[in-house]
Amino acid sequence: MTGQQLKNSILQMAVQGKLVPQDPNDEPASVLLERIRAEKEQLIKEGKIKKERNPSIIFRGADNLPYEKVWKNEPVCIADEVPFEIPESWEWVRLGTILHKLSDGTHSRPHYVASGIPFISVKDISGGKLDFSDCKYITEEEHCELYSRCNPEYGDILLTKVGTTGIPVIVDTTNEFSLFVSVALLKFNQEMLSNEYLACLINSPLVQKQAEKNTRGVGNKNWVMRDIANTLIVIPPLLEQQRIVSKLQKILPFVDNYAHAYSKAKKLNNGFPNLLKKSILQEAVQGKLVPQDPNDEPASILLERIRAEKERLIKAGKIKRDKHESVIFRRDNSHYEKLNGIERCIDDEIPFEIPENWSWTRLRTLTSKIGAGSTPTGGRAIYQPTGVKFIRSQNVYNDGLVLNDVAYISEEINQRKSGSIVKPKDILLNITGGSIGRSALVPDDFDIGNVNQHVMIIRLLTPSIRYWVHAVLISEYIQNMIMSVQVGVSREGLSASKLMDFLIPLPSERESYRIINEYNKACNVLHQI
């Protein structure tokens, strides 16, 4: 059983009343629903909410079967629609019945701006949380117009309804934002209904099966508002809702741990070659993959040449002098760093031992440029069929650039973004999101390109060591470093200043060639497994 299957099973138990015991002292859900209906009627009279088009009441008939009365129509037995029995104190109800408001975002694409009020679409909540890190923005004026119809507030539930459907997210911010048509807004009395229970309910198989059944279309699937409102749900007493949520909060972390363990075991079975590849790479960066040759010049000489090249470029005005020039050296069997004229022991930073003829250095020492790009004003609207390649994180993979879905920008925009122009022999590194740490070598025959803010350009002073530096960047050592120093709350992120300070183990050029050659041989063998 997968982690998701186990989670579904537990959620199903929860919505069937089998997760926590019922308390006869709880106010029954029937009374709760009466209070919800009374409140809605009062709000309708006051003009605060709109009248429900086809109000539904579900009740148990004299024959003990469930019946539904819709508006003024005669009651109809819905026993064939009710999938399971529920406790006596619970009630079946249509989702729309318990809501003060069910609406979706604007059906018209707004005018996007570089900064302003966040504009949320399905992609910003499909991960199961409200994520502003990569959202679009609209003007405050346009937001005010949209917000008057669809006004998400703290504690409300957002629901994906286009593309990826059926994912609920509780609004956890007091900051205002607007919604696109792909997201539905569910408003209700949060004193009468637990938003956490409703979110669990929507995530349960009971609702997910209905969402799947009622989702229309083939390509861009749509769960229409009418069908969302008509979704059959179960409402326990409020106190039991809270007990269910409390129980799930205790159980689900263990389910997550199980899911992790299950996934890990599956990956071990399916991904053994990749794990072995990582292990080989880690041996490589520690100088354990090939023997050292005493005839190789030591890495310290290579570093002297790199520093000389940097000084030459500074004097020529092609690059700026590094404010934090670093020199790392050994003395008395310890590692020291001279930074800004001050020496200090850095033994506590050294992650592992390296061969005697190798050297430790900061990445900044090896580079003439480390910097990310930016997204031009207008976002996706400025993309065009041809032009200058605009490289995004989805184009950057450890095995190289994947350009089959690359975006293009005009030469004019490219020149305005001259600081993030990609050159042959550069190294690209993803610095945000789920693909953080993925790195690609730019081919020697690369023509022209630019990068967005999610991709960092690393340009070496000595391009001949680019294969080695790239190998170090994708090694487990650096990947763990990236995970430990990433910044940001809602989304992973790696700053240029942190990246510059990464310690890089450096062999001689000749040894780096031998290591990369041996590593590639091993990878070719593993690909055949």
Q: What percent of the chain has pLDDT over 90?
A: 82
- Confidence band of 490 (pLDDT split at 50, 70, 90): very low
CA 364 to chain centre: 28
Q: Residue 219, Cβ neighbours under 10 Å: how many? A: 5
The per-residue pLDDT for 488 is 55
- Exposure letters 91-129 (e unless 16+ CB within 10 A, then b): bbbbbbbbbbbbbbbbeeebebbeebbbbbbbbbbbeee
- What is the average pLDDT across 471-486? 91
Q: 206: part of which helix (H) or strand (E)?
A: helix 205-214
- Confidence band of 492 (pLDDT split at 50, 70, 90): low
* Cα distance between residue 81 and residue 56, in whole Å: 15
Cα diameter, the chain: 96
In this predicted structure, the answer to whether residue 114 has a pLDDT above a threshold of 50 is: yes
Topology alike, domains 3-261 and 278-319+358-527: yes
The per-residue pLDDT for 110 is 93
How many CA atoms does the CB half-sphere of 266 hold within 13 Å? 9
Domain map (residue ranges) of the chain: 3-261, 278-319+358-527
pLDDT tens-digit series, residues 134-168: 999 999 999 999 999 999 999 999 999 998 899 99
Q: What is the 3-state secondary structure (H, E, C) of 138-192?
A: ECHHHHHHHHCCCCCCCCCEEEECECCCCCEEECCCCCCCEEECCEEEEECCCCC
Report helix angle 205-214 to 195-203, nearest 10: 60
Closest residue by Cα to residue 468 from 431, 506, 525: 506
* Cα distance between residue 284 and residue 306, in whole Å: 22
The per-residue pLDDT for 324 is 82
Q: What percent of the chain has pLDDT over 70?
A: 97
**Mean pLDDT of all residues in the chain?**
92
In this predicted structure, the answer to whether residue 22 has a pLDDT above a threshold of 50 is: yes
What letter would DSSP give residue 216? B
The per-residue pLDDT for 185 is 97
- What is the average pLDDT across 183-205? 97
- What is the average pLDDT across 209-237? 91
* Cα distance between residue 147 and residue 127, in whole Å: 24
- Least confident range from 72-76, 147-151, 373-377, 411-415: namely 373-377
In this predicted structure, the answer to whether residue 76 has a pLDDT above a threshold of 50 is: yes
Q: 467: part of which helix (H) or strand (E)?
A: helix 466-474
pLDDT tens-digit series, residues 387-442: 999 999 999 999 999 999 899 999 999 999 999 999 999 999 999 988 999 999 99
- Confidence band of 312 (pLDDT split at 50, 70, 90): very high
Class of 278-319+358-527 in CATH: alpha beta
- Confidence band of 460 (pLDDT split at 50, 70, 90): very high
The per-residue pLDDT for 344 is 93
Q: Is 450 exposed, middle or buried (0-12, 13-18, 19+ CB in 10 A)?
A: buried
Confirm if 105 and 142 have CB atoms less than 8 A apart. no
In this predicted structure, the answer to whether residue 220 has a pLDDT above a threshold of 80 is: no
The per-residue pLDDT for 489 is 46
In this predicted structure, the answer to whether residue 52 has a pLDDT above a threshold of 90 is: no
Residue-wise DSSP of 79-142: TTT--S---TT-EEEEGGGG-SEEEE-BSS----BSSSEEEE-GGGTTTSS---TT-EEE-HHH
- Confidence band of 216 (pLDDT split at 50, 70, 90): confident
- Confidence band of 268 (pLDDT split at 50, 70, 90): low
Residue 518 is encoded by which pair of tokens? 């041996």
* Cα distance between residue 427 and residue 440, in whole Å: 6
What letter would DSSP give residue 475? S
The per-residue pLDDT for 46 is 93
The per-residue pLDDT for 221 is 86
In this predicted structure, the answer to whether residue 269 has a pLDDT above a threshold of 70 is: no
In this predicted structure, the answer to whether residue 64 has a pLDDT above a threshold of 80 is: yes
- Confidence band of 522 (pLDDT split at 50, 70, 90): confident
The per-residue pLDDT for 487 is 62
pLDDT tens-digit series, residues 275-292: 788 899 999 999 999 999
Say what the pTM is: 0.53
| Domain 3-261 homologous superfamily, CATH | DNA methylase specificity domains (3.90.220.20)
**420 SS3 class:** helix
* Cα distance between residue 38 and residue 424, in whole Å: 69
The per-residue pLDDT for 272 is 65
